[in-house]
Amino acid sequence: MSEEDVDRNRRHFLAVATAVTGAVGVGFVAVPFLSSLKPSARAQALGAPVEVPIGALEPGEMIRVLWRGRLVFVLRRTEAMLGKLPGNDDSLRDPASAVTEQQPDYAVNEYRSVKPEFLIIEGSCTHLGCAPIEDFDVRPAEGWGGGFYCPCHGSKFDLAGRVFKGVPAPTNLRVPPYRFVNDDLILIGQDKGAA
């Protein structure tokens, strides 16, 4: 393993450790808060949709949010990122999103999204649930056009969360239900009228 590989693995490990620490921290805060609620309010808090402002998100920028305790990635894709997607098809396990459980019907399209520019996917690897890491650098020499990498066992996904062949993850990253409230705001967890 080269020094560069070791450095990259260390970065991936630190990123995962940070994500796990963050998730545990939320859990410690959330549990006492939730237990103080009445049953109906608790159910609502656990399942409530999450509003995510996206107006300030720059092209190429990604934010992470929590919905029902699950990590969700919101990525504003650039034109260049979108342009990479059709060329990946032959290398993907499920390029046309045929596994219906992995996305709502309105995300069964080339971009796996309501609006091509915005990708909303769960940050949970479909192998054993680790958090994939964004790797948007294009490296033609490696045949890499940008996407997501899972450091746990090496699964790779493209910029639409579609899994590449030959990795442990069996399916594409999951698209949660969501809808656009307006151009600057999305609601994750509720999709009535999204299409």
Instruction: Give the footprint of ligand FES on this chain (CB under 6 A).
Output: 125, 127-130, 150, 152-155, 168-169
β-strand pairing of 70-76 with 178-182:
unpaired
The radius of gyration of the chain from alpha carbons, rounded to an integer in Å, stands at: 17
When the beta carbons of 132 and 145 are compared against ligand FES, the nearer one is: 132
**What is the side-by-side order of every strand in the sheet holding 185-188?**
50-53, 185-188, 178-182
111 vs 164 by CB, closer to ligand FES: 164
Nearer to ligand FES, 12 or 84 (CB): 12
Structure tokens at 102: 């992995």
Q: For ligand FES, give the closer residue by CB, 10 or 48.
A: 10
Smallest CA-to-CA distance from 172 within 88, 92, 110, 106 is with 92
In angstroms, give the least distance from the CB of 126 to ligand FES. Answer: 8
Q: From the CB of 75, what's the least distance to ligand FES, in Å?
A: 18
Least distance CB 179 / ligand FES (angstroms): 28
Taking the complex as a whole, the smallest distance from the CB of residue 116 to ligand FES amounts, in Å, to 26
Please check whether residue 146 is in contact with residue 135, taking contact to mean a CB–CB distance below 8 angstroms. Answer: yes
